[in-house]
Amino acid sequence: VWEMGGAMDAEETEIVIFQSPIKNRIPVNVSYQQALKSIILDRTPITSKGIVIDYKSTSDYHSREYWEKAVEYLDYNFVQINSVLHFNPETSFSVFPIAPIPLIIRLGYMFGDKISAKVSQKYRSPDTWSWLKEEKTNSFSYNKEVFSGGKRVAIILALTSDIDISRVSSVCDFDVVYKLDAGEHSVDCIRSEDDLKEFWHKYQEMLDEIKNLYPDVTEVSLFPSVPVSAAFAVGSRYMQGVYPKIHIYDDDDGFFETITIGE
């Protein structure tokens, strides 16, 4: 019996914690109690421990092995989510991720938009998983630069910090570079659910434009500087067979390729 004062008609949810050291160096720990505290007013947890996915690796962060093992680990652990759904296909999940951004995107991709899942955003000050605001606090827009007529397309997501196009061009001579910007760059650039919705609407609009303007483009490269909630949305809102497959890069003393979604 939960004595946390959850609403009588609160929907049931299974808490999912995903944690993995940042850059495979900085340890992280997602507190179940903190997660619980952030949802208890409108959601009631189904179990007292939730599902914890905790990926650690001895491989070099830049190596293929690190990322291949990480994807295998996520696939293996997603069985826990599928088994919950097997007994109740209507189950909703509350997701609390702190991990390398490409892996959070991958987790979102595995949930997709058919499974009911709400992602939360971690803040440092105050130290909470609860949304800081109820209303929209930021704006998002995108533009593109065309360098030549080929099919190599890059996408920059500059939310937490700006990313100069030259840093992306040093990875590859892209023909077209799309850049989605936050009106205000900061680690707290997404303070409300409305901010998150605004972001992914703009992100989908950009993907739709790429699909329509460049129908022959079958793959794009993604360079994200985003909070965890936006990373999850990038994965969960991906439409298989509609959008190009996405090669995800991470920044650790320069950008390098990590994993792909949509294969």
Q: Is the pLDDT reported for residue 153 higher than 80? A: yes
Cβ atoms of 115 and 89 closer than 8 Å: no
Residues 124, 227, 165, 71, CA torsion sign = positive
pLDDT given at position 10: 77
Q: Mean pLDDT across the stretch 245-250? A: 98
**Which secondary-structure segment (H or E) carries 101?**
helix 101-111
Q: 25-38, pLDDT tens digit by residue? A: 999 999 999 999 99
What pLDDT, on the 0 to 100 scale, is given for residue 4?
Answer: 46
Beta strands in the chain (DSSP E): 11-19, 43-45, 51-54, 92-98, 116-119, 140-146, 153-158, 176-182, 219-225, 245-251, 255-261
Instruction: Name residue 79's amino acid.
Output: V
Strand, coil or helix: 52: strand
pTM of the entire predicted model: 0.95
204-230 residue pLDDT tens: 999 999 999 999 999 999 999 999 999
d(CA 260, CA 263): 7
141-177 CB burial, b ≥16 within 10 A, e <16: ebebeeeeeeebbbbbbbbbeebebeebeeeeebbbb
What is the rounded distance in angstroms from the CA atom of residue 9 to the CA atom of residue 186?
36
Asked if pLDDT for residue 7 goes beyond 70, the answer is no
The letter for the amino acid at 257 is E
Q: Rounded mean pLDDT of the chain?
A: 95
pLDDT of residue 11: 87
SS3 218: coil
Check: CB of residue 233 under 8 Å from CB of residue 260. no
- Tokens for 36, please give them: 């619980």
Determine the 3-state secondary structure of 106 from DSSP.
helix
Cα gap 163→160, rounded to integer Å: 10
Q: pLDDT tens digit string along 92-134?
A: 999 999 999 999 999 999 999 999 999 999 999 999 999 999 9
Asked if the model's pLDDT at residue 2 lies above 50, the reply is: no
With a cut of 50, say whether residue 3 has pLDDT above it: no
Has residue 1 got a pLDDT over 90? no
